[in-house]
Amino acid sequence: MMRQAGRYLSEYRQLRQKSPDFLSFCLTPSLTTEAALQPMRRFSFDAAIVFSDILLVAHAMGLSVVFDEKQGPLLSKIDRRFRFPREEDVLKKLQVVGESVSLLREKLKEESFSNTALIGFCGAPWTLAAYMVEGKGSKDFFLLRRLALEDRGFFKDLIAYLTSLLSRFLMMQVRAGADMVQIFDSWAGLADTEQFHEWVVAPTAMMVKALQGTFVMGFAKQAGNRLFSYACDTGLNGVSLDSGCDLVLANKTLPHDLVLQGNIDPVRLLVGGKGMKDEAIRICEQCRHRPFVFNLGHGILKDTPPEHVEDLVKTVREFR
């Protein structure tokens, strides 16, 4: 499940106290490995996910990155005067994530999870650019959209740079032991139709091509009716669906050999009970005749009772 390791687990909250801040936590393989193992021990998920954050890339590029408890991520902004660092220098700093993947692979075997899939990930170029240009999270990322229109030359260079860098970053994770990778384009829905094709679909297609031979899952949140283009024009092996996506429509329009992943609302998981179980069964029924990975439509909310996660896992496994 998205964010299956995190604040909803008491053991994670205790572990988190061993590091002065979240960034330092993410840069310590022993801690990230333990965090990734915690939900495996509780729920025996079918996949483990390396514990990291998409903004480690921005940090490795030399930007100031601070994770504020109230405001979320805060970054030093970039503009057309920004000078892109050498990819090799950035990847050297990101090698700590590769170390986390390798260590997690070893620990999974030690704790009898040898047959468990291991997932690596990164943010998509458009979404990473959003944080780097805006300097923080935003509802509309106005500065991003404005820069993309006002200074097309610089923005094109930025997306091209990130596309190449992120492709190599994912390949690093594969070589370190990841079985598959996922590209998170959390702010894809903010792009207009033209921007969606140029800055979301095209870069993703280039990343998939660079990762040829690796199973790649993509998540373009709130893509809406552009989901077909995202799924079919990128070469992705599978797509994650947000909770607002109509599974009936997705089943009808998307290629049958394409893996779908999703898409129960995280709020239903938080509330739990019969409504959650009924919705889980409905989703399983709708996707039972195609390649499908049951998941949430976004990340587990921090106030979610772990018992609800256990109930959901049991419901899906009994259906299966």
**pTM of the predicted structure, to 2 decimals:** 0.96
- Which stretches of the chain are DSSP H helices? 10-16, 22-26, 29-43, 56-60, 87-110, 125-134, 142-150, 152-176, 193-195, 202-210, 227-232, 247-253, 266-271, 273-286, 306-319
For residues 98-113, give the mean pLDDT: 97
pLDDT of residue 231: 96
The predicted-structure confidence for 186-234, as pLDDT tens digits, reads as follows 999 999 999 999 999 999 999 999 999 999 999 999 999 999 999 999 9
Residue 69 predicted with pLDDT over 90: no
pLDDT of residue 70: 85
Return the amino acid letter for 191. A
pLDDT of residue 287: 94
Q: What is the dihedral of CA 303, 305, 306, 310, to 10 degrees?
A: -130
Q: Is 141 exposed, middle or buried (0-12, 13-18, 19+ CB in 10 A)?
A: buried
The predicted-structure confidence for 11-56, as pLDDT tens digits, reads as follows 999 999 999 999 999 999 999 999 999 999 999 999 999 999 999 9
pLDDT of residue 320: 75
Distances in whole angstroms, Cα of residue 209 to Cα of each of 25, 162, 204: 32, 15, 9
The predicted-structure confidence for 142-185, as pLDDT tens digits, reads as follows 999 999 999 999 999 999 999 999 999 999 999 999 999 999 99
Domains of the chain: 10-240 (3.20.20.210), 241-320 (no CATH)
Q: What is the DSSP letter of 198?
A: I
Query: Which pairs from 211-217 meet CB under 8 Å and 24+ separation?
Result: 211/167, 211/170, 211/171, 211/174, 211/181, 214/170, 214/171, 214/174, 214/180, 214/181, 215/179, 215/180, 215/181, 216/170, 216/180, 216/181, 216/182, 216/183, 217/180, 217/181, 217/182, 217/183, 217/259, 217/261
Beta bridge partners, 118, equal 48
The predicted-structure confidence for 291-315, as pLDDT tens digits, reads as follows 999 999 999 999 999 999 999 999 9
The predicted-structure confidence for 246-273, as pLDDT tens digits, reads as follows 999 999 999 999 999 999 999 999 999 9
Kindly state the tokens that stand for 222.
């709130």
